[in-house]
């Protein structure tokens, strides 16, 4: 394919929705896969919905996910400006062309008349409420008078009745509409701003967009867009309407049923690699069994032809799994950077752990965490000595003989010099033999003493990481604090 140019065109509502991320990602993958350009265009033609800082947020979220755009706000490009609010004169120019060839017309109808019209149509049980083309009957003179008189107006698309509007969609195949079901859509609002329908078509053409890849919610208005391309005698882009992302109850993914913003997932500790991987698989697969992907692999394999038609439920369980998978694939050094940051934002920020210590903690817990923050919540004992001990673990692993046995173990540890993991193991083995008890009688209480819990890495791994002094100190502490009846 030649000259592939695609765009992600969000309205700046304040944050990047995960559905938006999926749309942006598919655009990005398609562009990179085909050596095309990925463009960001901001659809800010609704002045009532202006949100301060929304564009910056959007760009920040896209960048975090690794979706770098080739043209757009901040980076520029030769088809700018990339903010629709800065292109108003362009839309005016083109809509005049439409008016002069009869494909659009001025409409001076008041809000009230439109409401009355709608009510009447509903009363008559008409299949659909539509504008009645009332202002199309105005003479040229009447229009000029009203314009001169500064009467408020909108400009509407003049849809010719009784014909079929047909277009192809990569995802859905041939889609067909009856023009009688398409309303004379407003193209220019009374404030002079264009509606999405006009702006989107004009910009896609001017920016030489080859493929329009967007959410399914746009499918129903595509006939209007197609008609606009035809009216301008412009070549239509290739359309691909993506299935929606759904809540667990299969309604459109919404805030009410969980997190929808990329930044929500970011603050919850999800890795960008996992989020991107997960979202890519919601509505697309390569046709093989691979589920774990890095961005470069997605780029290599992505095709629009393999995008599904049906909506997909956003399943947190699988995201969690992918997060764990991506976390485990990271090197200890990468995790080290993430963990340092995590510590800085935690109750342990006042402590200073040395690098090699943290690296050893990372290695020991790697298979046991799904999130970086779980290093702190699942193994707090690496970050501070236990204060209280897990009750059920005490009941299960501590009895009246335990204190004496642990004391003996502690004494044995105490005579070790620069012990390695094996040295602790030998010491414990020796004590167990001398006491004539199974090793478990020592191992479990030891674990409890040093970690306050009954789960975690191998106890000798914990001990060797904590070091001899700390281990002995913790055993002493446990002996003082753990009381059983």
Residue 257 or 345 with smaller CB distance to RNA: 257
Binding of RNA by 73 (CB under 7 A): no
Residue 33 touches RNA, criterion: CB under 7 A: no
User: What are the CA-CA distances from residue 321 to residues 230, 274, 299, 316, 342 (Å)?
Assistant: 48, 9, 22, 9, 20
**Would you count residue 391 as binding RNA (CB under 7 A)?**
no
Q: Least distance in Å: CB of 227 to RNA?
A: 14
Cβ proximity to RNA: between 240 and 354 the closer is: 240
Q: Which is nearer to RNA, 79 or 131 (CB)?
A: 131
Per CB under 7 A, the segment of 51-59, 62-70, 88-96, 184-192 that binds RNA is 184-192
Q: Which of 33, 43, 332, 353 binds RNA (CB under 7 A)?
A: 43
Compute the least distance from the CB of residue 352 to RNA, in Å: 27
Contacts of 257 (CB under 8 A, 6+ apart): 247, 248, 249, 251
What's the min distance (Å) between Cβ of 178 and RNA? 6
Stretch that binds RNA, among 25-33, 40-48, 98-106, 337-345 (CB under 7 A): 40-48
**Selected range binding RNA among 65-73, 139-147, 204-212, 250-258, rule: CB under 7 A:** 250-258
Q: How far is the CB of 344 from RNA (least distance, A)?
A: 25
Chain centroid to Cα 58, Å, comes to 11
Residues 315-374 that bind RNA (CB under 7 A): 315, 317-318, 320-321, 324, 328, 367-368
Gap between the Cα atoms of 249 and 70, Å rounded: 37
* Separation CA 155–CA 278 (nearest Å): 43
Binding map of RNA across residues 404-443, x = CB under 7 A, - = no contact: -----------------------------------xx--x
- Position 260 contacts RNA (CB under 7 A): no
Q: Are 438 and 366 in contact (CB under 8 A)?
A: no
297 is an interface residue for RNA by CB under 7 A:
no
Among the listed residues 63, 93, 252, 255, the single catalytic one is 255
Q: Of the candidates 2, 289, 388, 480, which one interacts with RNA according to CB under 7 A?
A: 289
- Footprint (CB under 7 A) of RNA, residues 96-155: 109-111, 114, 118, 125, 127-129, 131, 152, 154
Closer residue to RNA in complex, CB, 342/425: 425
Out of 120, 151, 217, 420, which residue is the one contacting RNA (CB under 7 A)?
A: 217
Binding to RNA by residue 186, rule CB under 7 A? yes
Q: Measure Cα distances from 111 to 131, 135, 189, 190, 377 in Å.
A: 12, 14, 12, 11, 59
> In this complex, which beta carbon is closest to RNA, that of residue 36 or of residue 456?
456
Cβ-based nearer residue to RNA, 439 or 481: 439
Residue 265 is a binding residue for RNA (CB under 7 A) = no
Which among 138-146, 225-233, 278-286, 381-389 is the span making contact with RNA, rule CB under 7 A?
A: 278-286
Between 295 and 365, whose beta carbon lies closer to RNA?
A: 365
Return the residue of 189, 468, 476, 481 that touches RNA, per CB under 7 A: 189
User: According to the binding rule CB under 7 A, does residue 179 interact with RNA?
Assistant: no
Q: Could you confirm whether 309 is annotated as catalytic?
A: no
Name residues contacting RNA, limited to 442-471 (CB under 7 A): 443-444, 447, 454-461
Determine the Cα–Cα distance for residues 264 and 21; give it in Å rounded to an integer: 13
CB neighbourhood size of 426 (10 A): 14
Q: CA of 200: how far to CAs of 26, 324, 355, 371, 402, in Å?
A: 19, 40, 53, 40, 75
Among 60, 70, 132, 216, binds RNA (CB under 7 A): 216
Work out whether 46 is an interface residue with RNA (CB under 7 A): yes
- Give me the least distance between CB of 349 and RNA, in Å please: 26
Q: How far is the CB of 388 from RNA (least distance, A)?
A: 18
Catalytically active residues are: 255
């Amino acid at each position: 394919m030649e000259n592939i140019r695609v765009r992600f065109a969000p309205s700046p509502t304040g944050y990047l929705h995960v559905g938006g991320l999926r749309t942006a990602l598919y655009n990005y993958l398609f562009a990179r896969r085909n050596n095309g350009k990925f463009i960001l265009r901001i659809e800010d033609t609704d002045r009532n919905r202006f949100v301060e800082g929304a564009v910056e947020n959007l760009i920040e979220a896209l960048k975090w996910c690794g979706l770098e755009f080739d043209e757009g706000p901040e980076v520029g490009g030769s088809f700018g400006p990339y903010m629709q609010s800065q292109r108003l004169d362009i839309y005016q120019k083109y809509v005049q062309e439409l008016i002069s060839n009869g494909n659009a017309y001025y409409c001076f109808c008041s809000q009230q008349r439109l409401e009355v019209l709608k009510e009447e149509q509903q009363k008559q049980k008409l299949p659909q409420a539509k504008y009645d083309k009332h202002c199309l009957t105005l003479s040229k003179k009447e229009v000029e008078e009203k314009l001169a008189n500064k009467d408020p107006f909108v400009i509407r698309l003049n849809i010719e009745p009784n014909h079929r509007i047909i277009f192809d969609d990569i995802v859905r195949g041939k889609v067909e509409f009856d023009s009688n079901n398409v309303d004379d859509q407003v193209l220019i609002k009374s404030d002079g701003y264009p509606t999405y329908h006009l702006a989107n078509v004009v910009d896609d053409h001017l920016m030489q967009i080859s493929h329009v890849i967007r959410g399914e919610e746009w499918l129903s208005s595509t006939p209007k867009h197609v008609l606009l391309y035809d009216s301008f005698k412009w070549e239509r882009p290739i359309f691909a309407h993506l299935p929606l992302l759904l809540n667990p109850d299969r309604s459109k993914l919404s805030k009410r049923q969980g997190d929808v913003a990329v930044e929500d997932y970011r603050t919850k500790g999800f890795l960008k690699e996992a989020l991107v991987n997960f979202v890519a698989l919601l509505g697309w697969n390569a046709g093989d069994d691979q589920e774990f992907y890095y961005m470069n692999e997605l780029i290599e394999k992505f095709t629009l032809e393999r995008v599904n038609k049906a909506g997909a439920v956003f399943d947190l369980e699988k995201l969690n799994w992918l997060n764990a998978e991506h976390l485990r694939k990271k090197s200890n050094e990468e995790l080290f950077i993430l963990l340092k940051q995590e510590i800085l934002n935690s109750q342990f920020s006042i402590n200073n752990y040395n690098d090699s210590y943290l690296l050893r903690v990372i290695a020991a817990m790697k298979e046991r965490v799904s999130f970086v923050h779980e290093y702190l919540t699942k193994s707090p004992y690496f970050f501070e000595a236990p204060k209280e001990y897990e009750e059920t673990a005490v009941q299960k692993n501590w009895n009246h003989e335990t204190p004496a046995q642990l004391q003996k173990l502690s004494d044995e540890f105490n005579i070790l010099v620069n012990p390695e993991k094996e040295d602790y193991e030998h010491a414990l083995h020796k004590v167990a033999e001398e006491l004539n008890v199974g090793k478990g009688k020592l191992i479990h209480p030891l674990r409890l003493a040093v970690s306050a819990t009954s789960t975690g890495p191998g106890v000798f791994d914990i001990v060797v990481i904590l070091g001899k002094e700390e281990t002995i100190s913790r055993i002493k502490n446990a002996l003082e604090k753990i009381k059983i009846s």
